[in-house]
Amino acid sequence: MTAVAFLRPEFVESFPPEMTHGVLYVSIPYATCGHLCACGCGQEIVTPLSPAQWALTYDGQNVSLRPSIGNWGLPCYSHYWIKEGAVRWSRRYTADEIADNRARDRRDLREHLDQDRPGPISKMIRRLWP
């Protein structure tokens, strides 16, 4: 498989057993999105939607996900944004940046799960405009 420049949204209840490359599956009931890594490596990328994880925007045709998709757990180390369906490649992070990001993600998720309500406004703004 080769890299895709575009991800077409498909609204589903649950993900298919085999995802199609180039499709971004959106499950509102499970508040989760899934797609095959845009680089073409074939890995399934699952992005849970929550105030501490990813946020989805649907403009009626295409979807955007924020923040970026950083696949540091995968051999390909892909890092890209999905903006109005378009895959915008970002630079690879350094090992230090990856460690920082992982720590921040864990902290944000813990805070979110702890309090079950929106975090401080500054945190929300950082999430919306990273």
Residue numbers at the binding site for Zn ion (CB under 5 A): 37, 39, 41, 76, 78
Q: Which is nearer to Zn ion, 50 or 86 (CB)?
A: 86
Tokens of 65: 């996900």
In the bound state with Zn ion, the residue whose beta carbon lies nearer, of 92 and 123, is 92
Whichever of 50 and 101 has its CB closer to Zn ion, that residue is 101
DSSP for 55-114, written as a single string: EEEE-SS-EEEEEEEE-TTSTT--EEEEETTEEEE-PPPPHHHHHHHHHHHHHHHHHHHH
We find the least distance from the C-beta atom of residue 112 to Zn ion, in angstroms, to be: 27
Question: For residue 85, which of 4, 29, 12 has the smallest C-alpha distance?
Answer: 4
Q: How far is the CB of 87 from Zn ion (least distance, A)?
A: 11
Cα-based distances in Å from 20 to 9, 10, 53, 54, 62? 11, 10, 23, 21, 17
Minimum Å gap between C-beta 91 and Zn ion is 15
Q: Which is nearer to Zn ion, 41 or 98 (CB)?
A: 41
Minimum distance from residue 78 beta carbon to Zn ion (Å): 4
